[in-house]
Amino acid sequence: MKKLLLIIILLLPTALFADSEKQFTAEEIKDLTKKAKKGDVDAQIDLADAYLNGVGVEKDERIAAKWYYKAAMKNNIDAQFAMGFVCRGGESASMDKVLSYMWFELAQKNGNTRAVGLRNDVAWSMTDDEISQARKKADNWRAGQEAEDYSCQN
């Protein structure tokens, strides 16, 4: 049972962010990149999804995480939810339970009901002090604030 749960948890990010309807040409990726660099949140999310799933580009979780982070910093709840996964660790980031909890907490506060269970899953392996730190970060976080790095990227 634990193995099945672990497999589900590992595959969940791809299943949640994969959009089988979206296929991007090289020209569309180029256009998305231009828009994303100009701050278009929808383009940042689409570009992150493309890199996460290798759709129209070579799969690269580090680049996906970069674009999710930019959109999350603009208070996009889907990107905040994605950052919860990024900070749980993987190719694109070191595991940072405090930041993972913080991003899931922000996504939940902004209306993403799926984030509650995932935040609680992260909390299961955290100390009370780490949970307190994560809650404080979530309470103090402000959209667009670049004073502190919340990216957890390697």
**Amino acid at the residue 57:** V
Cα separations (Å) of 90 from 61, 94, 99, 152? 8, 7, 14, 11
Cα separations (Å) of 56 from 29, 30, 50, 94, 148? 7, 10, 7, 26, 33
CA distance 149 to 154: 12
DSSP output for 85-135: HHTT-SSSB---HHHHHHHHHHHHHTT-THHHHHHHHHHTTS-HHHHHHHH
SS3 at position 137: helix
pLDDT, position 141? 87
Q: Which domains, ranges and CATH numbers included, belong to the chain?
A: 23-140 (1.25.40.10)
Report pLDDT digits (tens) over 120-131: 999 999 999 999
Report pLDDT digits (tens) over 4-43: 333 334 444 444 554 445 788 889 999 999 999 999 999 9
